[in-house]
Amino acid sequence: MKPYTQHIEDGYIIREFDIDVLSNELVWHRDERDRTVEILEGEGWRLQMDNSLPINLKVGDVIKIPKETFHRVGKGKTKLVIKIKEE
């Protein structure tokens, strides 16, 4: 089971992480395609890329994640909603 729900809207993946998600469900992973991620909602969430310290995510941030790059999100204080464009 995935730690999020998602749907497609205007060609973008809209993904939501509920506040009740368990931290141990937010695992290191990598994606098969380049992605551009925009933060739509959420407070206190972090993104950690391979060999880097975590960065705080803020509404409006746009982050590029190259394919095959290990990364993970860290749990925040509210629900997290992101918009993903796969390239």
Return the CATH number at 37.
2.60.120.10
**Average pLDDT of the segment spanning 15-34:** 96
Question: What's the gap between Cα 78 and its chain centre?
Answer: 14
Q: Are the C-beta atoms of 48 and 72 separated by less than 8 Å? A: yes
Q: Identify the pLDDT of residue 1.
A: 82
Q: pTM surpassing 0.75?
A: yes
Domain count, the chain: 1
| pLDDT tens sequence across 52-77 | 999 999 999 999 999 999 999 999 99
The domain of 78 spans 5-86
Give Dmax over CA atoms of the chain in angstroms. 34
| pLDDT tens sequence across 5-17 | 999 999 999 999 9
Query: d(Cα 66, Cα 80) in Å, to the nearest integer?
Result: 21
